[in-house]
Amino acid sequence: MAEDQAREALAALDKAIAHKPRKDDADFAAALEHLCKLRDVLLAEARQGAAPRERLGQVNALISVVLAGHFPLGSVPWPEVERARGVLAGMVPGQDGP
Amino acid sequence: MPSLGATFGRGAATMSLWDLANADCIVVMGSNMAENHPVAFRFVVDAKTRGATVIHVDPRFTRTSALADIHAPIRSGSDIAFLGGIIRHLLEGDLWFHEFALRYTNIAHIIEDGYRGPEEEGGVFSGFDPETGTYEHDTWQYKGKLAQSPVSEHRVQEQEATAGEQESMAHGPAPQDPTLQHPHCVYQIMRRHYARYTPAMVEQATGCTADIFLKVADALARNSGRERTGAFCYAVGWTHHTTGVQIIRAASIIQGLLGNIGRPGGGIMALRGHASIQGSTDIPTLYNMLPTYLPQPNAFHDHGTLQQLLKTETPATGWWHNLPKYMVSLLKAWYGEHAQAANGWGYDFIPKLTGDVSQLPMTLAMAAGVIKGQFILGQNPAVGAVNSEMVERGLAKLEWLVVRDFAMSETANFWQKGRRVQKGETTPADIGTEVFFLPCALSGEKDGTVTNTSRLVQWHDVVLDAPGDSRSDLWFIYHLGKRLKELYAGSTAPADAAIQALTWDYPERGEKQEPDAEAVLREINGYTVADRKQLPSYKQLKDDGSTACGGWMYCGIYPADGRNLARSRTPDGPGGPGSHLGWAFAWPSNRRTLYNRASADPDGKPWSERKRMVWWSEAEGKWTGTDIPDFEDTKRPDYRPDWSKRPHGMDALGGADPFIMEVDGQCMLFAPSGLADGPLPTHYEPVESPVRNPLYPGEQRNPGAKLWARPGNELHAPGDPRFPYVLTTFRLTELHCGGITSRVAPHTAELQPEMFVEVPPELADMLGIKHLGWAVLLTLRTEIEARAMVTERLRPFRINGRTIYQIGVPWVFGWQGYARGDVANALLAITGDANTSIHSTKALTCGLRAGRVGHADGGHG
């Protein structure tokens, strides 16, 4: 379940990076949606003591960066978004991490 | 108010309310002041009694218009065309105050060769990137310089400088041409920029006839100079546009040209006031500022450490060179012994910005499920926020919602009675949000301060205890904080260190354990760390950890134990100076008129006896007068910086540079930095408009406007025939803001019992709408119904050969209380100003028909 959400989020983020929207973009929205679902899964697991909180912290940070692409202050921070993409890829089996 | 900040140095009204009585001309624009700021309006009436000309520029004829000498009706959203026309009139008629503007503004400064204006660039300024929709500011700079903007509201969107670039301002004065002949001096740039804002163009764009426009422009020009001054008063009728900041900038330019800043009766009165709006930006609830306008660090700027932040954000010259003292003192106030030099004074504890987390995008993020919970204090967004059905969608996605109010509000029971429930789009059973509705104390039931519209901080004591479980907001925040600190006390996670380090030790009183509000004010004022002595002035703040201060601009409000100057209530008597320095405390330094060094000529003498305020006393060797001088006390008027020494801070400002928060002490007619959408105000049409932009056909709307088109937030295309009418929203004297406090009180509710729409008779005839009959207003967001008030207070406009009708609705109604009606804000889209992200409520388009929702002319569907 968590892997599926991470994979979906990564696919959406890759689309956003490919076409570089100026802001408020459907792919960013999709990436956020899946990251938030991933957050919910990790939160539930953490509350049950079934997962470490570090991963949850990472996902929260990813949400902050992707949200900054979706609702930027000024220009979209593409270098940071691409770095976030690397971190997210590290959560998806078979993908290269940062 | 980044407009006032960028132009003059501080984001606040430049004058006190009572000083309006000293004006010779007052323009009220973007405000129905008589009805919405009636207490303040008494000073306008005073001025009129003394012979001042009062002008009201507004689409509607209101009680303010009735008391004015001139009412100039303009189409909503065309303000910059009108004000730009005045700027042109002053420049081309050579009607500006030369001695003032040449010396105290940047009118003679030379701008970079690469600068191009919208006249040359098809409606945008040089530096525009159509891919990102943002501007690079390089070509807007003084030639060979990097002039940072003052550290004021909404400054840090884009990083203005990399560390060290700002040093150019310490190398020598910006290049100038006092003859004003240089093609790239600000004067010549402005002449080219406003050349087409002729009276005929003003009429074409605004609908105001050229003869009325010229009466206004001439009245302003006539009441300028050594002997006379004029003031502008505005409210959210200016700010609530996608060009809101630039509208205020346009008035600021007029005032700079006319010498109407820092002088008796001269200035810009930003009408805030309701619910301590000024206070809520000073000690901010805004996401992008620390208290008293210090920059919130940004994770993506050179702000990784405190040292980096200060290197990047501290201007080399001017008063803001003191930024490090204010930052370190704030961190000491917040983190106490946990703030040490070794840990950058606790800088890592401060959250860093990533994106725009202002209200509008966060409403959309809430609707997208990003946000899990929300606290609502002092607000009723189900009524007061734009696109209120989108707000309801967002609230319905939350896991939890805490609403504190003194009576049931629409925001608290949206899940039960909201518009989406009324329309059958959802049911209470479909909404999972757990709502906690908590009773709060009203202002008379708690101690504290209100900071009014002229920066005046006034203390109020509790009059009677709040009933039952009602508690003050201070109580709620304080005890919530205490519980959070308890919760995280044993944590070893680095992320929890900030809350562990926070000083949170205010004394509690009584059975309810009410925190001592004066203790909070003492902390905001600041104290010495070693012996906890109150500081009398921010000039004593240091960057070595020896002082703590929760808000440097407020320093001096509590200068010694037992001396709360916000309590002070000693007015000047008859024949007194009229500054009322003994009445409460105005930041900074209890100063009533900002930039008042400008009330004297460059030699330090009053411009005239009639308009004297602050002057240089050779005998005393200092500045003196009827107000606290806004200048270094003993800096002589003939002081000039020694550029060979690379002066920094105030040493780089001369004795005739009154705007000390700016990097060169000058009023920025042309803003090289600090604004996202251009160095000069330019007319763009509102995002929704029935007409094309007559000035820049290729650039219909502000290219920097914040837009978020999505299902439920669709925008009307320009000229969409389904939505041919211009709609504006307004408040009412009788119903306060979001309405709850007055809609639940029978005696105020009966004064405005029902939602209505103001419609001009010509349009009513055309659509078959009867006075007091029903009418439906439609947008792509939704439709609402209201009783029709058919009134000549609104007149049809002739815009570019077409008849354009304007209508208006009050936005204060909802489904709670005795006075009820549809929520006007449901009609509006979420769109924001380029600089502030503030919502746009004053100019949009809509459809209108007779009847009720769900029927052509029958009952409610």
Give the pLDDT mean for B347-370: 94
Chain CA centroid to CA B755, Å: 28
In this complex, do B354 and A32 lie within 8 Å of one another by their Cβ atoms?
no
Taking each helix axis from N to C end, the angle separating A53-70 and B359-367, rounded to the nearest 10 degrees, works out to 120
A64 touches B: beta carbon within 8 Å:
yes
In order of B135, B767, B778, B809, the CA distances from B785 in angstroms are 42, 15, 9, 11
What DSSP string describes B63-79?
A: HHHHTSSEEE---TT-H
On whether residue B669 sits in a domain, the answer given is: no
* pLDDT for residue A80: 96
Amino acid identity at B386: V
Q: Which residues of A touch B156 (CB under 8 A)?
A: 73
| Cβ neighbours around B412 below 10 Å, total | 25
DSSP 3-state percent helix, strand, coil across chain B (nearest 5):
30, 15, 50
Beta strands per DSSP E along B674-753: 706-707, 725-730
On whether residue B135 sits in a domain, the answer given is: yes
Of the partner residues A69, A70, A74, the one whose CB lies closest to the CB of residue B157: A74
In this complex, do A36 and B370 lie within 8 Å of one another by their Cβ atoms?
yes
Determine the distance in angstroms separating the CA of A95 from the nearest CA of chain B, rounded to an integer: 25
Nearest to A24 by CA among B807, B832, B125, B706: B706
What DSSP string describes B96-122?
A: S-HHHHHHHBSTTBBBPTT---TTTTT
Please report, to the nearest 10 degrees, the dihedral formed by the alpha carbons of residues B155, B159, B165, B169 taken in order. -20
pLDDT tens string B416-446: 999 999 999 999 999 999 999 999 999 899 9
Q: Which residues of B touch A57 (CB under 8 A)?
A: 495
* pLDDT for residue A24: 78
Whether the ω angle into residue B588 lies within 30 degrees of 0, i.e. cis, is yes
d(CA B386, CA B239) in angstroms, rounded, equals 14
Strands B53-57 and B25-29: parallel
Amino acid identity at B294: L
Query: Does residue B1 surpass a pLDDT of 80?
Result: no
- Cβ distance B230 to B69 under 8 Å? no
Under the phi-then-psi rule, with left for phi > 0, alpha for psi from -120 to 50, and beta for the rest, what region is B262?
left
pLDDT tens string B655-712: 999 999 999 999 999 999 999 999 999 999 999 999 999 999 999 999 999 999 899 9
Of the partner residues B157, B354, B369, the one whose CB lies closest to the CB of residue A65: B354
On whether residue B528 sits in a domain, the answer given is: no
* pLDDT for residue B860: 40
pLDDT tens string B524-563: 999 999 999 999 999 999 999 999 999 999 999 999 999 9
d(CA B90, CA B93) in angstroms, rounded, equals 5
On whether residue B104 sits in a domain, the answer given is: yes
Determine the distance in angstroms separating the CA of A93 from the nearest CA of chain B, rounded to an integer: 25
CATH of the domain at B782: 2.40.40.20
Burial class (CB in 10 A: 0-12, 13-18, 19+), B571: exposed
Nearest to B255 by CA among B684, B659, B833, B626: B659
Q: Which residues of A touch B132 (CB under 8 A)?
A: 22, 75-76
Query: Does residue B386 surpass a pLDDT of 60?
Result: yes
Question: What count of residues does chain A have?
Answer: 98
A90 touches B: beta carbon within 8 Å:
no
What phi and psi, each to the nearest 5 degrees, are found at residue A4?
A: -60, -45
In this complex, do A22 and B132 lie within 8 Å of one another by their Cβ atoms?
yes
B648-671 burial: b if 16+ Cβ within 10 Å, else e: bbbbbbbbbbbbbbbbbbbbbbbb
Domain that holds residue B740: 706-850
On whether residue B640 sits in a domain, the answer given is: no
In this complex, do A29 and B369 lie within 8 Å of one another by their Cβ atoms?
no
Query: Does residue B162 surpass a pLDDT of 80?
Result: no
Strands B25-29 and B230-234: parallel
The percent of residues in chain B predicted with pLDDT above 70, rounded, is: 98
Q: Which residues of B touch A29 (CB under 8 A)?
A: 368
Strands B614-617 and B622-625: antiparallel
In this complex, do A33 and B676 lie within 8 Å of one another by their Cβ atoms?
no
On whether residue B449 sits in a domain, the answer given is: no
Which of the listed residues B241, B273, B305 is the one where a domain comes to its end?
Answer: B273
The percent of residues in chain B predicted with pLDDT above 90, rounded, is: 92
In this complex, do A53 and B158 lie within 8 Å of one another by their Cβ atoms?
no
* pLDDT for residue A98: 60
Q: Which residues of A touch B300 (CB under 8 A)?
A: 68, 77, 80
Query: Does residue B234 surpass a pLDDT of 80?
Result: yes
- Cβ distance B847 to B722 under 8 Å? yes
Interface of B with A (CB under 8 A): 129, 131-134, 156-158, 288, 298-300, 353-357, 361, 364-365, 368-370, 493, 495, 676, 707-710
pLDDT tens string B750-778: 999 999 999 999 999 999 999 999 999 99
In this complex, do A63 and B370 lie within 8 Å of one another by their Cβ atoms?
yes
- Cβ distance B74 to B207 under 8 Å? yes
Residue of B nearest to A58 (CA): B495
Q: A interface mutation test: which of B132, B358, B398 has the most A CBs within 10 A?
A: B132
- Cβ distance A40 to A34 under 8 Å? no
Residue B789, beta-bridge partner list: B758
Q: How many CB pairs under 8 A join A and B?
A: 69
DSSP 3-state percent helix, strand, coil across chain A (nearest 5):
70, 0, 30
Q: Which residues of B touch A80 (CB under 8 A)?
A: 299-300, 354
A76 touches B: beta carbon within 8 Å:
yes
CATH of the domain at B68: 3.40.228.10
* pLDDT for residue B782: 98
Determine the distance in angstroms separating the CA of B121 from the nearest CA of chain A, rounded to an integer: 21
* pLDDT for residue B165: 82
Position B132 confidence tier, pLDDT thresholds 50, 70, 90: confident
What is the 3 state secondary structure string of B788-801?
A: EEECCCCCCEEECC
Chain CA centroid to CA B100, Å: 26
d(CA B262, CA B280) in angstroms, rounded, equals 24
| Cβ neighbours around A60 below 10 Å, total | 15
Q: What is the average pLDDT score of chain B? A: 95
Determine the distance in angstroms separating the CA of A65 from the nearest CA of chain B, rounded to an integer: 6
- Cβ distance B787 to B770 under 8 Å? no
Please tell me whether residue B376 adopts helix, strand or coil conformation. strand
* pLDDT for residue B857: 45
A74 touches B: beta carbon within 8 Å:
yes
Q: B interface mutation test: which of A42, A71, A75 has the most B CBs within 10 A?
A: A71
* pLDDT for residue B153: 64
A30 touches B: beta carbon within 8 Å:
no
In this complex, do A32 and B370 lie within 8 Å of one another by their Cβ atoms?
yes
pLDDT tens string B570-590: 999 998 999 999 999 999 999
d(CA B515, CA B501) in angstroms, rounded, equals 19
Name the CA radius of gyration of chain A, rounded. Answer: 13
Query: Does residue B736 surpass a pLDDT of 90?
Result: no
Give the pLDDT mean for B808-819: 96
Please report, to the nearest 10 degrees, the dihedral formed by the alpha carbons of residues B309, B313, B317, B322 taken in order. -60
Strands B53-57 and B725-730: unpaired
Query: Does residue B491 surpass a pLDDT of 70?
Result: yes
Residue of B nearest to A72 (CA): B355
Determine the distance in angstroms separating the CA of A57 from the nearest CA of chain B, rounded to an integer: 9
On whether residue B771 sits in a domain, the answer given is: yes
d(CA B365, CA B360) in angstroms, rounded, equals 9
Taking the CA of residue B638 as centre, how many other CA atoms within 13 Å lie in the half-sphere pointing to its CB? 3
Which of the listed residues B257, B273, B289 is the one where a domain comes to its end?
Answer: B273
What is the 3 state secondary structure string of B140-178?
A: HCECCCCCCCCCCCCCCCCCCCCCCHHHHHHCCCCCECC
Host H or E run for residue B831: strand B831-832
ipTM: 0.94
Amino acid identity at B40: A
Nearest to A29 by CA among B157, B288, B358, B711: B711
Determine the distance in angstroms separating the CA of B134 from the nearest CA of chain A, rounded to an integer: 7
In this complex, do A69 and B355 lie within 8 Å of one another by their Cβ atoms?
yes
d(CA B204, CA B801) in angstroms, rounded, equals 8
Residue of B nearest to A69 (CA): B355
Q: A interface mutation test: which of B159, B160, B300 has the most A CBs within 10 A?
A: B300
* pLDDT for residue B157: 67
A78 touches B: beta carbon within 8 Å:
no
On whether residue B471 sits in a domain, the answer given is: no
d(CA B257, CA B249) in angstroms, rounded, equals 12
| Cβ neighbours around B489 below 10 Å, total | 10
d(CA B119, CA A18) in angstroms, rounded, equals 35
- Per the structure, the count of domains in chain B is 2
* pLDDT for residue B858: 38
Q: B interface mutation test: which of A73, A75, A81 has the most B CBs within 10 A?
A: A73
Determine the distance in angstroms separating the CA of B782 from the nearest CA of chain A, rounded to an integer: 22
Which of the listed residues B273, B307, B339 is the one where a domain comes to its end?
Answer: B273
- Cβ distance B328 to B322 under 8 Å? no
A80 touches B: beta carbon within 8 Å:
yes
- Cβ distance B796 to B690 under 8 Å? no
In this complex, do B354 and A77 lie within 8 Å of one another by their Cβ atoms?
yes
- Cβ distance B446 to B266 under 8 Å? no
A63 touches B: beta carbon within 8 Å:
yes
| Cβ neighbours around A47 below 10 Å, total | 11
d(CA B484, CA B486) in angstroms, rounded, equals 5
Q: Is the dihedral of CA B651, B653, B656, B662 positive or negative?
A: negative
Query: Does residue B612 surpass a pLDDT of 50?
Result: yes
Lowest-confidence segment of A35-49, B59-73, B631-645 by average pLDDT: A35-49
Position B732 confidence tier, pLDDT thresholds 50, 70, 90: very high
Give the pLDDT mean for B706-733: 96
